[in-house]
A = this chain, B = another copy of it.
């Protein structure tokens, strides 16, 4: 199974070379993330792809994660802080267009979604949106591996700093998780050759027949 080979090949890269990833590969990576599943299909997060070194230095200031600056690109998964009625209406309108349906054809789903999300607290919706971003992160890790791009998923960053510097708050977004991508500097990365640690299958999974 190709995917298992990809999963075994990847690791949380600590040190990158200075080689840049081609635009074509970055585009494929982003396309894969955009095709990821999300609950109710409404993609409640966005991805910022940052190569600008000054901006990355600013984002990484004070962080122990040197990869925020020292990698080819930095991807920021930014989740919606609220799932507003306006957001759902726009999304359903887009869906009707993409499916060549008359306006209003998906009203039942629209009203169901509006009812569901407006009954939740803002915090519940924000957490929900973040979880969907993690499905996208799962895709990104595998897409990168297929492209032989190394990556480092990171939670240890100053989310408030990211939200301010990137102007996310004004867009109703918040940084949920970040991913640096580039090419491993295997000789200088102590993690590059360490065996992957995983639970034995019989501890990780239970089969109920």
How many copies of the chain does the oligomer comprise? 2
Which residues between 127 and 158 of chain A lie within 8 Å of chain B, taking CB atoms?
127, 130-132, 134-139, 141-143, 146-147, 153, 155
Does A34 reach chain B (CB closer than 8 Å)? yes
Give CA–CA (A1, B8) in the complex, Å. 18
Docked-complex contact A147 and B41, CB < 8 angstroms:
no
Give CA–CA (A103, B10) in the complex, Å. 26
Specify which chain B residues have a CB less than 8 angstroms from the CB of A141 in the assembled complex: 36-37, 135, 138
Docked-complex contact B208 and A50, CB < 8 angstroms:
yes
CB distance from A165 to the nearest CB of B (A): 11
Docked-complex contact B46 and A206, CB < 8 angstroms:
yes
Binding site for B on A (CB under 8 A): 1-4, 7-8, 10, 12, 27-28, 30-37, 39, 41, 43, 46-52, 55, 94-95, 98-99, 127, 130-132, 134-139, 141-143, 146-147, 153, 155, 177, 194-199, 201, 203-209
Known: A30-B204, A37-B153. 20 other contacts (CB 8 A): A3-B146, A4-B32, A4-B35, A8-B35, A12-B37, A30-B205, A31-B201, A33-B204, A48-B207, A49-B207, A50-B208, A51-B208, A52-B209, A94-B197, A94-B199, A98-B198, A131-B177, A132-B134, A135-B137, A139-B142
